[in-house]
Amino acid sequence: MRFLQNPDPERRAGRMRMRGMLRKEALQIIRDPSSIAIAFVLPIVLLFLFGYGISLDAKHVPLAVVVESPSAETAGFAASFEQSEYLSPQRFGTIQEAEQALIHHTVNGIVWLRNDFEEKLLSGESAPIGVIINGVDANTARIIEGYVNGAWTSWLQQRAAAHAGTLNIPVRLQPRVWFNAEMRSRNFLIPGLIAVIMTLIGALLTAMVVAREWERGTMEALMVTPVTAKELLLGKLLPYFILGMGGLLLSIGMAMWLFDVPLRGSLLLLLLTSALFLVAALGMGLTISTAARDQFVAGQIAIVATFLPAFMLSGFIFDINSMPAAVQLVTRLIAARYYVAILQTVFLAGNVWKVILLNSVVLVLFCVFFLGLARRRMVKRLD
Amino acid sequence: MWTHLRALIVKEMLALLKDKKSRLVLIAPPIIQLFVFGYAATFDLNHVRYAVLNEDSGGASRELLARFEGSGTFECAARLSNDTQIAPVIDNKRALLVIRFPSDFSRNLESGRSADVQVNVDGRNSNSAMLVLNYVQTIISSFNSSWIKAHGGRAPPANLVVRPWYNPNLVSRWFIVPGIVGLLTLLVTLLITALSVAREREAGTFDQLLVTPLSPFEILLGKAIPGVLLGLTEATAIILIIVFWFKIPLLGSLIALYLGLLLFLLSSIGVGLMISSLAVTQQQGLLGAFLFLVPSIILSGFSTPIANMPEYLQTLTLINPLRYFIVILRSVFLEGATVNLLWPQYWPMAVIGCVCLFSSAQLFRRRMY
Amino acid sequence: MPVSSDILNVLELSGVTKRFTSSQQTAPALHEVSLRVRKGTVTGLIGPDGAGKTTLMRLIAGLLVPDSGQISVLGIDAVREPLKVQQVIGYMPQRFGLYEDLTVQENLNLYADLQGLPDAERPARYAELTKMTGLAPFTKRLAGKLSGGMKQKLGLACVLVRPPQLLLLDEPTVGVDPVSRRELWSIVYRLVKQENMTALLSTAYLDEAERCNEVILLHRGELLGQNSPAEFSRQIEGRSFQAVLPGINKRSLQSRLACSPGVIDATIQRTGVRIVMKNKMQPDAANLPDGIRIEPVPPRFEDSFISLLRDKDGYHTIRNVPSVQAAPAGSSGEDMITVDQATRRFGSFYAVKGVSFTVKAGEVFGLLGANGAGKSTTFRMLCGLLPATGGKLSVAGLDLRHAPAKARARIGYMAQKFSLYGDLSVQENLRFFSSAYGLGGDEQRERIEWALQEFELNEYAGSTSRELPLGYKQRLALAAALMHRPKILFLDEPTSGVDPLARREFWTRIAGLAEEGVTVLVTTHFMEEAEYCDRLVIMAEGSILAEGTPDDMRARVQSDRLSDPTMEDAFIHLIEEHETARRPDAVLAKS
């Protein structure tokens, strides 16, 4: 009763309650290895797996080279493939053998020089070079097509130089790849992966942790103390925010020093925007936990509603612009999408303010929305 | 034995399907994922936005640009007037590429010299960048051959005639979608089996089960068979959706497909039961399933080729049952493979399945108490 | 009813109604409940399962909002200002959520922070509370590592960190052994006296209700009455009797008396059977066995509780002892369960060491002990759920080490908490368990029919078993354990959390089973249930402390101070004696 009469002690009591909640949560985090595991071991495992396991860069693609009647010209052509680090050519005598190899997946493509190749070449008639590619993996097939195209062009140029003639190509492509000149897929996958990891830490961890309190009956015990709903939320938010930022620093460190991803923008900016996303993810986790009161269901919802979309629809691996219009609309509802855009820009392009500010504003909206929702639903009532 | 087993199977099926919540977990996420993967997971580029800086006043550049417009893949996002505008357009992601024609472009072409066209690509997504360059190259090549035809001049002494097998239009959905059968079957069977013992432990029914005369082996089979049945049903449903909704051709023999599916179920249920016999709580079961699931999806070749991985990871994939099943799926769907061709994929799954089932039976016996 | 109206009412409810609108489940609700709790009293909230006790507690604590009516706690409106109410009350829910990964001290710190206890006042308060609860030596221990009774005391200490003016306790003694139960009660009484606190607590133990200043009786969401226990008892004065018939098994006497006309309650008590008559009628001697001695005894609260409920619910009793159709039992006198020097070790800790006893066919044998005494471990070893580290255990003549599956086929097992498949219907559960025990065809159909009939489950045959009322769940569990006509029945705290009416019904069935020659091994915390046992052992710290009939046990502790000890007195005395012998300081710390 004495707190009710004097407003200042009430404020002090609020601070004391906050201290209690934070201390409790910190002790639990330290004692329970699973939350530390989610925050620190998970990023390491995922970064390793993705960093090394997922690569779109095809190298040493086995390619069958079929030369039906070998000659100096065909030798020159075949040699141009051997120079490429992307292709590893294997010689076959007949097209039938090569096709068998393609069917059995021992080669991914065939380059086929027919009997009449040299004859046509010398006659000035354009000699066809047959290229068969296993198209099942369309992406790899295109990349192989590009490599074969490159090898062919360089052979043409060398041949022209050797015959002291000029090669007449009307339009020549002069490609310049910005930000990622060597086109390493790791450079774009790893920053995107950080978004997936932060989603996992933020949403899954908090959803499970709050659900655990419901399951063990500690929530009911907390609710009848004078602690306010705001204090309950903050008590969960703050410790896991710190834990999440720890996981973030670890991920950034690994990205920069283990995977050699360049950080062209400012680290401070990266941390600030990441903090913003983390708060939004924590808000999502808290919102889920106000709906699901057992860990199993909370975990399921967290995975389906946050982790999978962050994985599939954030532009982390699959380009959003290539998706059907309806799916593109859906991606706009996914916070990770905006964070992925910021991450890829800050890492590879630098401080491009327009991209960063625009996406940050959206992230702020997400924070406000989810925290507000969690606050509204976190009523100290049981029904 | 048969009475026991039938009772166990009926019980397990009822427990899985009667509860609304667990029915939802079995049905909704696979369907959602099927459609999300089916539509979102694509490496093909559509609606590629480009900007043009055309310093050339001749007709040739316009002719080439018309080919970009007409390709259906590219969309013009901006026309620039000077080169200081290039950087902001790419930086701010207004366009994925900027095509720049120098002022002498048409003049060079018309006088029979080679003309350069500069293409600046945003490399933040390196895969998109590479594909865009390939698309651009294709357009330029076809422009070149028709230019030569129209204006005379010597064609290059040899030209490429590219013919992709199995997937003539190189649609990456054809590649991704059949793999989903494996992915979702693994997810569902693992969730069913990995959590089943822990769920009974937590509910106290496991003790009740253990005091009956049922043998550990019967209890194990009673957990495995419902997993096989549900896995088969779910996989069949997904296969039907893939064939009739996504219209992906199923060329090979169904026998080859279902033999693979059965062996895959054997091995994934083996893994699930192994997790189950180790997990005391549902949370541990879930964690175990997750810890197995994520690496096995990444290391299966589902989204990116195994051949691109470092050597040691490639070796590691040999113990991943999903790896073999994904190959079977794609071969049967797209390449029309038959049983004969797929032996190298069948036997490793059979070995993995037997080893897992055997060791989970051992673990189970020991952890009975 | 209050003696004088100028006494401050700490709690006032008027016309409180609460409905739950969850889809199919019929959750307990409250209907037009009005009551008052006076300052400085201990008030008991009593009622059968589903009466709405927990709902009432949660409403008072501001965790639920009533559909209509007013709740005022110390003059504060609990509906509009739940936060203010929460600052002046202490509430211990049924499953008090201790943070098991925090230590005792850290749990206390947390609640001190949340309750706003000033730092300066803490050391003194902690010292007082830990001394009172006997937790002082364990402040550094993780809460998860405490025994059930200690956890409950720690929960209480957490609620009391800042002395609340109104203390709400929801079934604080469920699953707690008699020693810890008695300690909890003495703490509550001391607080009410010393700190001028008011306590409202719900309980399923009717002897606890007797100790309250006032009792509130709830039934299906309605208030049946509020009065002092003595007043409740006075209303049925002259209807309680004690019947003694030497030379006959007390259980059979009890079941005979229970079906005598006019008898509404019969329970085994001490050397005889206590009966309560309908109206003020004398037991009809003509219907009773010869040689029976019937004496009037003073009524107690339990008598009036049962009679009030019977008035409400009708005289539904099991008239005939159910024919359980158990397997033809072994000839009486045969050893059905033999435990010889059984030992179970977990790491370096001996949960059970050197326990030996035998149970003969047709006996009801009790396994009693404080929380953590090793009775569950012994129990699990006998069911074949846990292998023994040493010693020999055999069941129905089969060594558990060599023929566990065969032994399991002969036993029925009923776990402490309801552990049949919650998603399956009653019928499906019965079908599953009968198949698991190898029943099939006509026999199976016949047994399922029998179970539905005998346990009056017909009406629920198709309903999901998770949604059954608690009493019916318990019937179903017993039915499932009996499908294969076992010779031996294992019951692990079968009546924990079950209300007195359902408990009586349960024991009537058990008595019937024993009559047919089924051997029953049971653990329980209800000492009045121990009276139903033919023989029992009391365990402490993994060893047997005492063995014998209930009469033997009482005789052992009889003294001038305790001339007519109850089973509970005997139990507590034996445990305390053991503790004093082993650890003289432990008792010193308590006093």
pLDDT at C23: 47
In a domain, B292, yes or no: yes
- Residue numbers in C near B14 (CB within 8 A): 421, 423-424, 428
Within an 8 Å CB–CB cutoff, is residue B49 touching chain A? yes
pLDDT tens column, B114-126? 888 999 998 888 8
pLDDT at C287: 67
- Asked if residue B213 and residue B360 are part of one domain, the reply reads yes
Provide mean pLDDT across the span A201-218.
83
DSSP-based three-state secondary structure for A350: coil
- Asked if residue B223 and residue B136 are part of one domain, the reply reads no
Residue with tokens 């996002």: B77
pLDDT at C320: 46
Q: CA of B96: how far to CAs of B50, B51, B91, in Å?
A: 6, 8, 9
The rounded mean pLDDT for chain A is 84
Which chain C residue has its CA at the smallest distance from A28's CA? C101
Number of structural domains in chain B: 2
Nearest-CA distance from C492 to chain B in Å? 12
- The sheet that has C535-540: what strands, in order across it? C411-414, C488-492, C519-523, C364-369, C535-540, C543-548
pLDDT at C45: 92
* Helix residue ranges per DSSP H, C134-219: 148-160, 178-194, 206-210
Q: How confident is the model at residue C583 (pLDDT cuts 50, 70, 90)?
A: low
pLDDT tens column, C172-229? 888 788 888 888 888 888 888 888 889 999 987 888 888 899 999 988 888 888 988 8
In angstroms and rounded to an integer, the radius of gyration of the C-alpha atoms of chain B is 28
What residue numbers bound the domain in which B285 lies? 2-41+172-366
Within an 8 Å CB–CB cutoff, is residue A297 touching chain B? yes
pLDDT at C48: 81
pLDDT at A151: 84
Within an 8 Å CB–CB cutoff, is residue C106 touching chain A? yes
Alpha carbons C284 and B175: distance in angstroms, whole number: 89
Whether residues B213 and C405 touch (CB distance < 8 A) is answered with yes
- Residue numbers in B near A174 (CB within 8 A): 116-119
In a domain, B160, yes or no: no
Amino acid identity, residue C537? Answer: V
Asked if residues A285 and A203 have their Cβ atoms less than 8 Å apart, the reply is yes
Asked if residues C381 and C388 have their Cβ atoms less than 8 Å apart, the reply is yes
- Asked if residue B234 and residue B183 are part of one domain, the reply reads yes
Whether residues B43 and A128 touch (CB distance < 8 A) is answered with no
Domain termination site, one of B151, B180, B200: B151
Q: State the helix-helix crossing angle for C122-133 and C178-194, rounded to 10 degrees.
A: 140
Which chain A residue has its CA at the smallest distance from B150's CA? A170
pLDDT at C79: 87
Q: How confident is the model at residue C300 (pLDDT cuts 50, 70, 90)?
A: confident
pLDDT over threshold 80, residue A164: no
DSSP-based three-state secondary structure for A341: helix
Whether residues B7 and C435 touch (CB distance < 8 A) is answered with yes
- Asked if residue B112 and residue B253 are part of one domain, the reply reads no
- Residue C513 structure tokens: 């089973």
Nearest-CA distance from B12 to chain A in Å? 19
DSSP-based three-state secondary structure for C338: strand
Residue C523 is given by DSSP the state E
- Asked if residue B101 and residue B32 are part of one domain, the reply reads no
The rounded mean pLDDT for chain C is 83
- Asked if residue B118 and residue B78 are part of one domain, the reply reads yes
Provide mean pLDDT across the span C537-566.
86
- Residue numbers in C near A222 (CB within 8 A): 97, 114
In a domain, B205, yes or no: yes
pLDDT tens column, B43-53? 778 888 899 99
- Asked if residue B189 and residue B309 are part of one domain, the reply reads yes
Nearest-CA distance from A106 to chain B in Å? 11
Residue with tokens 């920053």: A191
| Dihedral sign (CA C448, C454, C457, C459) | positive
A27 or A82, which is more confident: A27
Alpha carbons C399 and C418: distance in angstroms, whole number: 28
Q: How confident is the model at residue A123 (pLDDT cuts 50, 70, 90)?
A: confident
Q: How far apart are the first and last CA of chain A?
A: 27
pLDDT tens column, B84-104? 888 888 888 888 899 999 988
- Asked if residue B331 and residue B303 are part of one domain, the reply reads yes
Assign 3-class secondary structure to C269-317: ECCEEEEEECCCCCCCHHHCCCCCEEEECCCCHHHHHHHHHHHHHCCCC
Nearest-CA distance from C81 to chain A in Å? 11
Give which of C240, C228, C363, C367 is closest to C299, Cα–Cα: C240
Provide mean pLDDT across the span B349-358.
92
Provide mean pLDDT across the span A219-233.
85
DSSP-based three-state secondary structure for C10: strand
Most C CBs within 10 A among B25, B205, B212, hence the mutation to make, goes to B212
- Asked if residue B136 and residue B236 are part of one domain, the reply reads no
pLDDT at A232: 87
In a domain, B318, yes or no: yes
Q: Which residues pair with A67 in a beta bridge?
A: A113
Residue C144 is given by DSSP the state G
Return residues 71-130 of A near B (CB < 8 Å): 77, 102-105, 117, 121, 124, 126-130
Give which of A254, A267, A277 is closest to A360, Cα–Cα: A277
Domain A61-162 annotated CATH 3.40.1710.10 = yes
Asked if residues A232 and A309 have their Cβ atoms less than 8 Å apart, the reply is no
What is the ipTM for the molecules in this complex? 0.78
What are the backbone angles phi and psi of residue B188, rounded to the nearest 5°?
-70, -50
Q: Count of residues for chain A?
A: 383
Give which of B192, B232, B221, B223 is closest to B19, Cα–Cα: B192
pLDDT at B51: 92
- Residue numbers in B near C384 (CB within 8 A): 210-211
pLDDT over threshold 80, residue A3: no
- Asked if residue B273 and residue B228 are part of one domain, the reply reads yes
Alpha carbons C139 and C145: distance in angstroms, whole number: 12
Which chain B residue has its CA at the smallest distance from C422's CA? B15
Alpha carbons C554 and C548: distance in angstroms, whole number: 10
Asked if residues C532 and C268 have their Cβ atoms less than 8 Å apart, the reply is yes
What are the backbone angles phi and psi of residue C485, rounded to the nearest 5°?
50, 60
Give which of B319, B292, B263 is closest to B195, Cα–Cα: B292
The rounded mean pLDDT for chain B is 86
pLDDT tens column, A39-82? 788 888 888 888 888 777 777 888 899 988 888 888 888 888 88
Provide mean pLDDT across the span C268-288.
76
Q: How confident is the model at residue B352 (pLDDT cuts 50, 70, 90)?
A: very high
* Helix residue ranges per DSSP H, chain B: 2-18, 20-40, 59-70, 86-91, 105-110, 126-151, 172-203, 205-210, 216-244, 254-278, 282-298, 311-316, 321-330, 343-366
Give the domains, in start order, of chain C with CATH numbers. 9-230 (3.40.50.300), 235-313 (3.30.70)
pLDDT at B27: 82
pTM score: 0.82
- Residue numbers in C near B215 (CB within 8 A): 405
In a domain, B102, yes or no: yes
pLDDT over threshold 80, residue A171: no
Residues of chain A with CATH 3.40.1710.10: 61-162
pLDDT over threshold 60, residue A252: yes
pLDDT tens column, B63-87? 889 988 888 888 888 899 888 888 8
Most B CBs within 10 A among C427, C431, C432, hence the mutation to make, goes to C432
